[in-house]
Amino acid sequence: MKLADVEKFLLALPGATLSIQWGNDRVFKVGGKMFAVIGVHDDKTSGGMSFKASSESFRILTELPGIKPAPYLARAEWVWLDKPARLPAKELKAYLTRAHAIIASGLPKKTQRELGLTA
C-alpha cells in the first residue's frame, strides 16, 4: 500500500483523527489516544510506520524482516515497519483495524458512545 492509501484507510476508521506531531509525523488517534503513526521525511519519504498490536501479533510481527519493536513504544507492544509494503495490503488493513479497536476499547464508555463506537 502507498502511504496515501494507508492514510485514507486509517482516517476511514470510526472516530479516527489525524494530527501532525514531532515535526512531520502523522499521528492517527481515536478519542485522543494514538493507535498508529506514520513517520514522514520532507513530506514525501516514509520514515516507516508504527501501530499498536496485540501481544500475540507483536510476537509474530517482530519476527518478520523489516518489522521490529517500535522505538519508545515497544513495552506497550507497538511495532515498527520500515515500509507499509512489508505486509500485504489485506493483512496491514487487518492489523491497523485491530490497533484502532484495541485503543478504542480502552476509552471510557461515554467517549466510545460519543464516537459511535458502541450502541
Kindly tell me the burial class for residue 10, based on how many C-beta atoms sit within 10 Å of its own C-beta (0-12, 13-18, 19 or more).
buried
User: To the nearest whole number, what is the mean pLDDT of the chain?
Assistant: 91
Whether residue 118 has pLDDT greater than 60: yes
Band (47; pLDDT cuts 50, 70, 90): confident
Provide the pLDDT for residue 83: 87
CB neighbours of 102 closer than 8 A, spacing ≥ 6?
Answer: 35, 52, 53, 54
**Does the model's pTM come out above 0.75?**
yes
Name which of 8-12, 40-44, 86-90 the model is least confident about. 40-44
Provide the pLDDT for residue 119: 62
The CATH classification number of 3-114 equals 3.90.1150.30
Which three three-digit cell numbers place residue 96? Answer: 491497523
Provide the pLDDT for residue 17: 96
List the one residue out of 53, 57, 38, 49 whose CA is nearest residue 100.
53
Which three three-digit cell numbers place residue 116? Answer: 459511535
pLDDT digits (tens, 9 = 90+) for 65-83: 999 999 989 999 999 999 8
Count the neighbouring beta carbons within 10 Å of the beta carbon of residue 25: 16
